[in-house]
Structure 1
Amino acid sequence: MQNLIDAYSWVNISYLLKGLWVTIEVSIIAVILSFVIGSIFGVIRYNNIPVVSKVVGFIIDVIRNLPLLLIIFFTYFGLPNFGIHMSIMTSAVSALTIFESMMIAEIVRAGIVGVPLGQTEGALANGMTRSQAMWHIILPQAYKKMIPPLVSQFISLIKDTSLATIIVLPELMYHAQIIYGQNNNYIIPMFIAVAIMYFIVNYALSLVGRWFDKKLK
């Protein structure tokens, strides 16, 4: 019992919270960037633009089938060989953004496919260009259908930040490792604390997603 009390001392909890903040910070930046890039790639792939769509599709397929850990390694250890040097934080955000963007691109493409073709035809018949129809008619409807898979992908992204421990990103899991590295009796308590923190953040995100889903129906 004493080990449990010591493990959950305010010093340790506050240290974990600092790591949690880094996790949230990295996640927010990566979510925003991956959503924007993924949307662009998804639209390009859907529109079948000569050559461009095939190149984008190839990039999406390649990255989606690579381990995220490999991408993290490459951004931090590989890119310096090409003269590109990034901080740990920037490397983690870049790797997560690259990987998640390709996942979201497929979600966006599938969402657009799910919108009835008549919506596009109606917009074109009313004098809209294809770009205007996509922006004002198709995407708003598609995004409504995408909310559940997008939220699931964003939750995966938050959990995937723990992989950045390998490049010593000071996020939640890394801070937990520092704490139980000082005392092996803290291993289980730290795992429990980390699990609770991840659950709170991800469950809160899922609730927000459900609220948006109901609000937009």
Structure 2
Amino acid sequence: MSILSQAYSWINLKFLLAGLGVTIEVSLISIALSFAIGLILGIIRYVGFKYVSAAVGFVIDIVRNLPLLLIIFFTYFALPQTGLRMSAMSAAITALVVFESAMLAEIVRSGIIAVDPGQMEGARSTGMSYWQAMQHIILPQALLKMIPPLVSQFISLIKDTSLATIIVLPELLYRAQIIYGQDTRYMLPMYLMIAVMYFIVCYALSLVARRLEKRFG
């Protein structure tokens, strides 16, 4: 118990909680930006603009098949070679947004495809334009169908923030490594604690998703 009491001292817990704050901040910003961009890209992919949709689809396929860690390395270490320098947080957010936008674009496109085509025909028959029907009829239904895969992707994003420890982002895992670097006996307690913290955040998000499904389903 002495090791646990030392590992879970208030100073260490406070240090970890600060790291959790960074993890949540990066996650929230990345989720908001990637969802907005992914929504736009998914609609472009679905609508089928000449040349543009094909080009967007090509880029999405490339990004989706690259390791996120490689994108993080490229953003933080390679881009400065071109004169574009970013902080560890900005680089992590940029990499996550690029990667997750590509993933979310396909979720959005699949969600729109899952809506009965008759919905668009019915909306157009009432005098709505294509984009009015898309905004008021198709997208609201598609978003409901997207909730489970979107939440799953958002949870993956939260966990993927731990990869940013490689560029010295002071998030949860990085701070845990600093703590057990002082005493290797703290390694197991630290990993247990960050596992609990990740679980709480991710499980809370899944509960919110379930409530949304029940409310709007």
Bin the TM-score by the shorter chain.
over 0.9
Aligned to 1:120: 120
Structure 2 residue 44 is the aligned partner of structure 1 residue 49: no
The Cα of 1:81 is off from its aligned counterpart by: 1.4
Structure 2 residue 78 is the aligned partner of structure 1 residue 78: yes
Encode CA deviations 1:55-102: one digit per residue, 9 max, x unaligned: 000011000000000000011111111221111111000000110111
Structure 2 residue 12 is the aligned partner of structure 1 residue 12: yes
Structure 2 residue 188 is the aligned partner of structure 1 residue 188: yes
Aligned to 2:106: 106
Separation in structure 2 between the aligned mates of residue 62 and residue 123 of structure 1, nearest angstrom: 35
Separation in structure 2 between the aligned mates of residue 50 and residue 194 of structure 1, nearest angstrom: 48
Separation in structure 2 between the aligned mates of residue 161 and residue 213 of structure 1, nearest angstrom: 26
Aligned to 1:146: 146
Separation in structure 2 between the aligned mates of residue 211 and residue 66 of structure 1, nearest angstrom: 34
Separation in structure 2 between the aligned mates of residue 198 and residue 56 of structure 1, nearest angstrom: 33
Letter of the 2:213 partner, please give it: D
Aligned to 2:211: 211
Aligned to 2:130: 130
Encode CA deviations 1:84-141: one digit per residue, 9 max, x unaligned: 1111111000000110111110000000000000111111122212111111110000
Aligned to 2:179: 179
Aligned to 1:63: 63
Separation in structure 2 between the aligned mates of residue 135 and residue 86 of structure 1, nearest angstrom: 36
Identity over aligned pairs, percent? 65
Separation in structure 2 between the aligned mates of residue 119 and residue 185 of structure 1, nearest angstrom: 61
The Cα of 1:3 is off from its aligned counterpart by: 1.0
Separation in structure 1 between the aligned mates of residue 141 and residue 212 of structure 2, nearest angstrom: 13
- Partner SS state of residue 170, structure 1: coil
Separation in structure 2 between the aligned mates of residue 172 and residue 148 of structure 1, nearest angstrom: 26
- Partner SS state of residue 107, structure 2: helix
TM-score when normalising by structure 2: 0.99
Letter of the 1:102 partner, please give it: A
Separation in structure 2 between the aligned mates of residue 94 and residue 128 of structure 1, nearest angstrom: 37
Matches within 5 A, 1:27-38: 27-38=27-38
Encode CA deviations 1:128-156: one digit per residue, 9 max, x unaligned: 12111111110000000110110010000
Letter of the 2:116 partner, please give it: P
Aligned to 1:23: 23
Unaligned segments of structure 1, at least 5 residues: none
Separation in structure 2 between the aligned mates of residue 103 and residue 197 of structure 1, nearest angstrom: 25
Structure 1's consecutive aligned runs of 4 or more residues displaced over 2 angstroms after TM superposition are none
Letter of the 2:88 partner, please give it: I
Unaligned segments of structure 2, at least 5 residues: none
Letter of the 2:93 partner, please give it: V
Letter of the 1:156 partner, please give it: S
The Cα of 1:157 is off from its aligned counterpart by: 0.3
